[in-house]
Amino acid sequence: MNWLADVKLGQRAIPRPSVARATVSALCLIAISSPSLALADTVTATAEAEVAAAFPKRLAITVIGDERALGTFQQRVSSWFSDGTEVVVTISSDVSQKQLLASSPEEVRALVIPLSTGNALLSVSCVTPPAAPRHLVREVALHSGFDELGLERLASVIHSAFVALSQGVEGVEREQAERELGAAGVAVGSFAQPSDATPPAASAPPSPPPPQAPPVVAPAPTSASPSKTAVSAAESRSALIVAAGYGVRLRGAEGAGHGPSLVLGLQLPGARTAFDLQLSAQYLFSSDFEAQPFSASVQTSALRAQIGIEPQLKSSLFAQVLLGLGADIARISAQASSSSGDLLLEPHSSGTQVRSMAEISLGIIQRGEVLDIGLVAQAIFSFQEVQYSAKTGGGDAVLQEPWAIQPALSLQGRFRNAL
């Protein structure tokens, strides 16, 4: 009650005329400042609208690479734009000084140069007169060169660079961009664009100020030239595959087998489909089963040589189809079961068997920048009849027979390393 009383007393202590004068003064300030604030907002909005209207709605991209691997790149970049920006992609085999850091008020220009490290160097340039040209230089990490995932990542970085330049939040002057290109191994030197070229040195031979044929960019002392890098990137986009997984196989009479697997292989690139060549091995732990009147156990090692394809379903989702040939090495042991009594058992096959096998694998693979995750279903066929039988007084008796077609399912994690 004391706190409420203090508040009420404090309110009464303020003279009423003072409250009125304060209210009138505040209203006057609001009335005076409102037109200024509205005018400032109008000027700011108008300026932003003028900048947005002046920024080009055309993006011209030049890529140093193989046209067969970049056939869908223009569509990929275009899919990132929803504001009507026109995207044009040109494939070239080399790069000249005239192309590096070139800018135009009619379009934003981007240049993509593959590097010897497997990554790509991106430079984006724009100019909105009377402002000076602005540039962005980015090194884009590509896990396996210009594969499907690499092209999607490159398209994303190009879009973000375009947006950053259009909003004016990023961009450096030409001198800084030249230093960044030089640090990445692309020697720009001190040349300028034809519009602002400097007079030639006095010691140079007589020639018109603008060069008639710009020289090809010279390679840095420690890096490969862009043209050679582009060729090597186009020819060496194959990838080494190393995969590990765990799977289960249903075998009928022999029971369910399960165990780890290992895959080593080579992936060859294609325009829309990758080709796989690989060797696989799986260790199935020992499993016990009954074949009255005896009990047995089998441990299997599966060895395969596989060939197949990986067609693309989405940007990072791939299907996998593999055909494999090989052998199952089965280690079998048998003994009399507890219910056999005095019956003498003599298994036909004991020790180790080698069984010729074939398989068809169908999988779904989600590719990542470092690790691929895949789920693979298999149908495994035996080329020879496998039976568990015993000798009896009346001849051979077949006791158990594994399935001729055995389904299997495995989960895999896979690493791909570009060669």
Tokens, residue 18: 């003072």
Inside any domain, residue 34: no
Tokens, residue 58: 């055309």
Q: Based on the domain organization, do 372 and 223 belong to the same domain?
A: no
pLDDT tens per residue across span 272-305? 788 999 999 999 999 888 877 778 889 999 999 9
Q: Based on the domain organization, do 351 and 242 belong to the same domain?
A: yes
Q: Mind spelling out the 3-state secondary structure of 54-120?
A: HCCCEEEEEEECCHHHHCCHHHHHHCCCCCCCEEEEEEECCCECCCCCCCECCEEEEEEEECCCCCE
pLDDT mean across residues, the chain: 77
Q: Based on the domain organization, do 143 and 288 belong to the same domain?
A: no
Q: How many domains does the chain have?
A: 2
- Higher per-residue pLDDT: 382 or 270: 382
- For the residues 42-71, what does the mean pLDDT come to? 69
Cβ distance 74 to 85 under 8 Å? no
Inside any domain, residue 19: no
- Higher per-residue pLDDT: 321 or 226: 321
Tell me the sheet residues that pair with 354.
329
Query: Residues 314-317: contacts with CB within 8 Å, 24+ apart?
Result: 315/148, 315/149, 315/152, 316/148, 316/149, 316/152, 316/366, 316/367, 316/368, 317/364, 317/365, 317/366, 317/367
Identify the pLDDT of residue 32. Answer: 52
C-alpha span between 351 and 79 (Å, rounded): 61
**Band (391; pLDDT cuts 50, 70, 90):** confident
Inside any domain, residue 388: yes
Poorest-confidence range of 73-77, 300-304, 390-394?
390-394
pTM attached to this predicted model:
0.48
Of the residues 207, 232, 257, the one at which a domain ends = 232
**CATH code for position 296:** 2.40.160.20
- Higher per-residue pLDDT: 390 or 383: 383
Other CB atoms within a 10 A radius of the CB of residue 399 amount to 20
Inside any domain, residue 4: no
Identify the pLDDT of residue 354. Answer: 94
Inside any domain, residue 49: no
Q: Based on the domain organization, do 108 and 248 belong to the same domain?
A: no
Inside any domain, residue 281: yes
Inside any domain, residue 200: no
Q: Based on the domain organization, do 411 and 267 belong to the same domain?
A: yes
Q: Based on the domain organization, do 285 and 382 belong to the same domain?
A: yes
Tell me the sheet residues that pair with 417.
240
pLDDT tens per residue across span 2-22? 333 333 333 333 344 454 455
- For the residues 240-257, what does the mean pLDDT come to? 95
Q: Based on the domain organization, do 272 and 396 belong to the same domain?
A: yes
Q: Which residue has the tokens 């230093």?
A: 179
Query: Which of 284, 286, 301, 280 has the alpha carbon at shortest distance from 363?
Result: 280
- Higher per-residue pLDDT: 217 or 129: 129
268: domain range?
238-418
C-alpha span between 331 and 328 (Å, rounded): 10
**CATH code for position 172:** 3.40.50
**Band (26; pLDDT cuts 50, 70, 90):** low
Q: Based on the domain organization, do 398 and 298 belong to the same domain?
A: yes
pLDDT tens per residue across span 82-129? 888 999 998 888 777 777 888 888 899 999 988 877 788 888 988 887
Q: Based on the domain organization, do 399 and 287 belong to the same domain?
A: yes
Inside any domain, residue 295: yes
